[in-house]
Amino acid sequence: LNLAKKLVGRDRAVDNHKRAMMLIAEGNVKRVDTLVRVAYKNGGGIRAIIHRLTDAASDLCKTKSFSSKDLKLAYLIWKMGGPRLVNIVAKALGGPSISTVRRHMGSRPLLASAGFPTQAEMARNLDVSLTKGLEDDQEEVPDNLLHEMGVGYVLAIDEIAIEKRLRWDPERNLVLGLCREHTEAKCSLEFASMDDADALLKALVADEIHVASEASVIAAASLNPDARSRAARPFVLSGTCKKGVPADQTRLLKNAAGALDSELKQHKGKLYCFATDGDAKRRKALTPLTLSRTLEPDSPLYSMLGNLPLFDLHCGFDDRTVDFDHKHLLKRARNALTSSKGITINGVHIDQTTLKTHLIDDGMKALTANLLLSPKDKQNVAQMYRLLVAIAKLPKAAKEDKPGYEKTRQSIRFLGHVYRHLVEAYTNHKLSLREQLVHLSAASHLLLAGYSTFRGDLWSSQFYFDMQQTIKNAYFCVAKTKRDCPKAKFYLILVGTDALEKLFGIYRTMIGTDTNADLYQLATRATGAVKCVKILQEEKGWDSGTRRLDIKTTVWDEGVEDKKTAQKWDHLKPELWEGDVHVAGVGLQTCWNTGRTVANEDLTDCEMTPSKSFDEMESDGGYHILSPFGTNKLVLVHGHQSKERDEEQDEQDQDDVSNTRPN
């Protein structure tokens, strides 16, 4: 009798499980996992689950328990698709409604600056964008990872095209959308009466003030590899007409650095450097902030950097330096090759025709060579990468080749050595931090040897200056990380404006790819864009990034197609980096000297003899990477020397797109 009762009970249990499976298989119940989880949490068994499934299938009950992932997904849908789409998804799939998302994940908008950004605006935006975000991030970081997290930050600045449209800010009763350079001195930006509007109109007609065509965005970007922390945090949104003087930008950047520094001190963070692209006015604006003095002998950094031969020790307040973003620099390196001027080395002129001949002779198809050497697409990172790598892989000329051809090939191979070191340092995810710094040192020494010998025939002074400043900044940042967090990791790929450009990508998705936002829209969507970036970095499986991401190995390994590897570079993340990047295992002096040895070997390999060897420069004195002609005169800062030149328009990495819509 007992056995019969047990069999009946088990048979009933099996029937209940089959019934539950049928209810689930019918597909009439939304978010089954949440429903089962809630029933289990409340102590219910299979019968309670069946009861809930039956009621849910008949729309008699709805599960309101939402996980953090549910809310994050709904937030992305809200910001990228709008509130109506959130409610559609809620009805169709059982997700949270827009009111629920707003209640749990709402955020305050940033303040756009109507005129010149004030300290009060910066402080308020930092409180919204940075402070609240840091508090949330630090609560989620496991204790065992805290020692690997650095404290360094980059102050990144870039422009984004906006609609030339005036907007009224109802919170502050201000008119937004005018340029910061000229407006405040001419007109009141407070909309107190129609007289104020009439005065603005008259000034616009008289061309005394201008409607902003771009917005300057300044953001704090963490060098911390943790996905929760490294999203760019904007705190300055200011309209610009691009007609101001560098001194105004210097004042803006100095104020922004001061405001950020004050805020970071509350969270044990430090501002390490500035990051920008190759904008000429900003380069001049940053010079007083990054080259105003030399590193003091009593500085903790001096023991790590002071004994590097031919290294430049100029820096700014609090030992700050500047990075010009490696991707922008390498695009400019490609553009110099495809420009009308070309490059001249050892009396050999290298232009598109010359490069095409040598690439085809090495086995490249003519169609591919034409594509890679096309000067029309300056923004294509994959094409730039493939061209520089193809040049770097060119072998020596064959013995039967003519002397003129051989001399040209050797000159091209000198460029190839420079490109190889730069590309490897930023793209080979198997390299350790020590190996990356060796590559950068070798590139710096080759740049010094080439520019001191061939001057403007080889590169513009702007390109040389920006490249050496970027390499110097990498060494400074590693030294600061060793000083502040000796056990931390340092990812070189996090230095630059990439975090800010990712934010711009989210802006484009939120606004639409066929139009631009105005300044007010930019401000109201800023914190939402930051949260979207942060969510996509935390939930690694949600965003595919580039559809052609391929991280197999470096292009210098045998059997790897250049095309596959080129397409992954623009989306490298710390999670994909395999090499050891702990700063504890890095000796900066050893890395620098090893790079110098490698550079000498490369010069011998391509049979290039510089006007002065590195040993001669060191013994003569007055030479370093920013003073390639001696006498301690800095390139670009102290004016042009003989045979130096400025960068041509077709060598720069961007067209004038301030008045055009995005593609």
Give the C-alpha separation, 247 to 171, whole Å. 31
656 vs 94, more confident: 94
What's the average model confidence in pLDDT over 528-535? 85
Q: Answer whether residue 20 shows pLDDT above 80.
A: no
Q: Answer whether residue 147 shows pLDDT above 70.
A: no
pLDDT digits (tens, 9 = 90+) for 420-454: 999 999 999 999 999 999 999 999 999 999 999 99
Neighbours of 140 (CB within 10 A): 10
437 vs 512, more confident: 437
Give the C-alpha separation, 475 to 307, whole Å. 13
Beta strand pairing call for 321-323 and 270-275: parallel
> Which residues have a Cβ under 8 Å from the Cβ of 143 and sit 6 or more positions away?
none
Q: How confident is the model at residue 52 (pLDDT cuts 50, 70, 90)?
A: low
Give the C-alpha separation, 562 to 363, whole Å. 13
pLDDT digits (tens, 9 = 90+) for 565-593: 444 555 678 888 999 999 999 999 999 99
Q: Answer whether residue 74 shows pLDDT above 70.
A: yes
Q: How confident is the model at residue 408 (pLDDT cuts 50, 70, 90)?
A: very high
Write down the pTM of the prediction.
0.86
Q: Answer whether residue 647 shows pLDDT above 80.
A: yes
Q: Answer whether residue 550 shows pLDDT above 50.
A: no
Q: How far is CA 337 from CA 333, 384, 420, 453, 607, in A?
A: 7, 11, 15, 19, 21
Q: How confident is the model at residue 553 (pLDDT cuts 50, 70, 90)?
A: very low
What confidence score (pLDDT) does residue 2 get?
A: 74
228 vs 432, more confident: 432
What DSSP assignment string belongs to 320-385?
A: -EEE--HHHHHHHHHHHHHSSS-EEETTEEE-HHHHHHHHHHTT--HHHHHHHT-SS-SS-HHHHH
- Give just the sign of the alpha carbon dihedral 28, 29, 31, 36: negative
Say if residues 411 and 607 touch (Cβ distance below 8 Å): no
Token duo for residue 357: 């001949």
What confidence score (pLDDT) does residue 470 get?
A: 98
Give the C-alpha separation, 545 to 209, whole Å. 41
Burial class (CB in 10 A: 0-12, 13-18, 19+), 289: buried
Mean pLDDT of all residues belonging to the chain: 86
Q: Which of 45-54, 141-150, 227-236, 237-246 has the lowest mean pLDDT?
A: 141-150
Give the C-alpha separation, 525 to 346, whole Å. 53
What confidence score (pLDDT) does residue 506 get?
A: 86
610 vs 526, more confident: 610
What confidence score (pLDDT) does residue 71 get?
A: 87
Give the C-alpha separation, 127 to 235, whole Å. 9
Give the C-alpha separation, 422 to 433, whole Å. 14
What's the average model confidence in pLDDT over 340-355? 93
Tally the C-alpha atoms within 13 A of residue 427's C-alpha that lie toward its C-beta: 32
Token duo for residue 322: 């500047």
Q: Answer whether residue 181 shows pLDDT above 80.
A: yes
CA-based nearest residue to 311, from 523, 99, 596: 596
pLDDT digits (tens, 9 = 90+) for 475-494: 999 999 999 999 999 999 99
pLDDT digits (tens, 9 = 90+) for 101-110: 888 887 788 9
Token duo for residue 366: 């003519």
What confidence score (pLDDT) does residue 149 get?
A: 57
CA-based nearest residue to 306, from 525, 479, 83: 479
What's the average model confidence in pLDDT over 43-53? 70
